[in-house]
Amino acid sequence: MATFPRFFVVSVVVFSCFGVTAYGALFSSIQKTLLLNSSPSQGQVLQAGEEQVTITWSLNKSYPTGTDSNYKIVKVKLCYAPVSQVDRGWRKSNDNLEKDKTCQFNVVTIPYKPSNNNFTWTIEKDVPTATYFIRAYVYDYAGEVVAYGQTTDAHKKTNLFKITAITGRHVTMDICAACFSAFSVVSLVGFYYAEKKMAKSTQQ
């Protein structure tokens, strides 16, 4: 092996190891210190773009005082339940949070406080039909993920809810409505001029 390629290979290996240890926080290594609740009942079906989810959270007081001294930011996310991840690589869970695709929708990013947190989220229009739960990640002052909380249990079986996407029919109806309003404006203008012209010709 020539000097250059060997150096190159060694650098790649060194940097990728460094990359994994430095940036790949593992889900299994962060503490579940937040207690999180969401408004939908188990199995409830909600319409994207219309209905709302209220999320409340607080620090689990069973942890020793000072556990949250380095907590800075909370990021609340909407996450796919296992039933909606089957055969879908693009939604796959990964213990390395850099690669994890479980929680793809941001609900809110908000400064940390230990209690009295609640947020009402109108489900965004681009959320696809699936089964979901809510998870919140806690970031420290260095920007690292250090803790979390979630509305479901460790097996992601309880407190799951469903969201129904805005269907093609909704979109078609929106387009039709837009066309009709454009048409009505055009015809209004048309009638106005036709009438004006008629008035003019009757005057003459």
Ligand X SMILES: *[C@@H]1O[C@H](CO)[C@@H](O)[C@H](O)[C@H]1NC(C)=O
Helix (H) or strand (E) holding 120: strand 117-122
For Cα atoms 39, 144, 20, give the angle at the middle one, nearest 5 degrees: 115
Question: What residues contact residue 42 under an 8 Å CB cut-off, 6+ apart?
Answer: 158, 159, 160, 161
Q: Are 159 and 81 in contact (CB under 8 A)?
A: no
Helix (H) or strand (E) holding 56: strand 52-59
Q: Least distance in Å: CB of 114 to ligand X?
A: 13
Which positions from 59 to 88 touch ligand X by CB under 6 A, shown as an x/- string?
-x-x--------------------------
Q: Least distance in Å: CB of 175 to ligand X?
A: 47
3-state helix, strand, coil in the chain (%, to 5): 30, 30, 35
Q: Least distance in Å: CB of 46 to ligand X?
A: 25
Q: Least distance in Å: CB of 35 to ligand X?
A: 5
Q: Which two tokens stand for residue 2?
A: 């020539």
112: nearest Cα among 69, 48, 77: 69
Q: Least distance in Å: CB of 131 to ligand X?
A: 22
Q: Least distance in Å: CB of 63 to ligand X?
A: 6
Site for ligand X in 10-69 (CB under 6 A): 35, 60, 62
Q: Of 64 and 168, which has the nearer Cβ to ligand X? A: 64
Residue 108 in 3-state DSSP?
Answer: strand
Q: Of 116 and 201, which has the nearer Cβ to ligand X? A: 116
Q: Of 96 and 118, which has the nearer Cβ to ligand X? A: 118
Q: Which two tokens stand for residue 91?
A: 């939604």
Q: Of 68 and 127, which has the nearer Cβ to ligand X? A: 68
Say how far apart CA 24 and CA 22 lie, in whole Å: 6
Q: Of 11 and 158, which has the nearer Cβ to ligand X? A: 158
Q: Of 62 and 116, which has the nearer Cβ to ligand X? A: 62
- Binders of ligand X: how many residues, by CB under 6 A? 3
Residue 139 in 3-state DSSP?
Answer: strand
List interacting residues with ligand X (CB under 6 A). 35, 60, 62
